[in-house]
Amino acid sequence: MRYNLSEISQLIEDRRTVLPEQFSERKVHREIIENLLNAARWAPTHKLTQPWRFTVFMGRGLSVFGQFHADTYKRITDPVKFSEIKFEKLKNRPLLASAVIAVAMHRDSENRLPEIEEIAAVSAAVQNMSLLAAAYGLGFYWGTGGMTYTDEMRSFLGHDVGDKVLGLIYLGYPEGNWPRKTPRKPIEYFTQWVED
Ligand SMILES: Cc1cc2nc3c(=O)[nH]c(=O)nc-3n(C[C@H](O)[C@H](O)[C@H](O)COP(=O)(O)O)c2cc1C
């Protein structure tokens, strides 16, 4: 197997978060989203539990999702803390995207693995998706705001108690230039070498 290593390294560096507010009107086709989901399933998975679960909202599904998200926020938030601006944002943000993909971790029925390993596998799956999305020139935003971590969101998506919603991916084509690099620390900062 031969790969173009410099292109792959460049892709990894170039992958960026693009917020829905930076998306153009151009729509991402379902076939491309299927390709992203196919990339997800090749992530590493201990005992092959394949714990990733996705719910794709597209078309009218985007307004269904936005309405649910905003209504849930209103219903479970202390009226003193409620913000109309946040309500509108939760409702309308999905409409800026071609698709919103809710990402969840499904616990296998026997709980064979520590939860952290299942979350790690789903995170790897999301990274596969985001790299392929970057290769397509797609904007990709992994958000965890709003009601992401609530039981209401988990059950709306049809997931069991014990499963966890890990985020909402907003997909679209970026308007204008690809975002600039975000800063990263050098490897010396986070690596210990033990040799000899
Ligand atoms: C688990 C996870 C949750 C995230 N949640 C949010 C979020 O709620 N809001 C946000 O603006 N960005 C969120 N991000 C994206 C980060 O802000 C982004 O990756 C970071 O700014 C670095 O930018 P880059 O992805 O372009 O390199 C999240 C990223 C991860 C891995």
Spatial strand order in the sheet of 139-143: 52-58, 99-105, 164-172, 139-143
Pocket test for ligand 1, best of 13, 126, 141, 142 (most atoms within 8 A of CB): 142
Tokens of 93: 């943000």
Ligand 1: does its nearest atom lie under 6 Å from the Cβ of 10?
no
pLDDT at 1: 72
* Ligand 1 center–CA 143 separation, angstroms: 6
- Condensed to tens digits (0 to 9), the pLDDT of residues 126-135 reads 999 999 999 9
Ligand 1: does its nearest atom lie under 6 Å from the Cβ of 142?
yes
* Ligand 1 center–CA 17 separation, angstroms: 7
Ligand 1: does its nearest atom lie under 6 Å from the Cβ of 61?
no
Q: Are 130 and 15 contacting, i.e. CB atoms less than 8 angstroms apart? A: yes
Residues in contact with 98: Cβ distance below 8 Å, sequence separation at least 6, in sequence order: 23, 26, 27, 28, 58, 171, 172, 173
Ligand 1: does its nearest atom lie under 6 Å from the Cβ of 167?
yes
Ligand 1: does its nearest atom lie under 6 Å from the Cβ of 63?
no
Show pLDDT as tens, one digit a residue, over the chain (196 residues). 789 999 999 999 999 999 999 999 999 999 999 999 999 999 999 999 999 999 999 999 999 999 999 999 999 999 999 999 999 999 999 999 999 999 999 999 899 999 999 999 999 999 999 999 999 999 999 999 999 999 999 999 999 999 999 999 999 999 999 999 999 999 999 999 999 8
- Condensed to tens digits (0 to 9), the pLDDT of residues 48-74 reads 999 999 999 999 999 999 999 999 999
* Ligand 1 center–CA 2 separation, angstroms: 32
pLDDT at 2: 87
Q: What are the Cα distances from residue 144, in Å, to 28, 48, 114, 192?
A: 22, 26, 22, 31
pLDDT at 188: 98
* Ligand 1 center–CA 1 separation, angstroms: 33
Closest ligand 1 atom, residue 184 Cα: 27
* Ligand 1 center–CA 196 separation, angstroms: 38
Closest ligand 1 atom, residue 19 Cα: 11
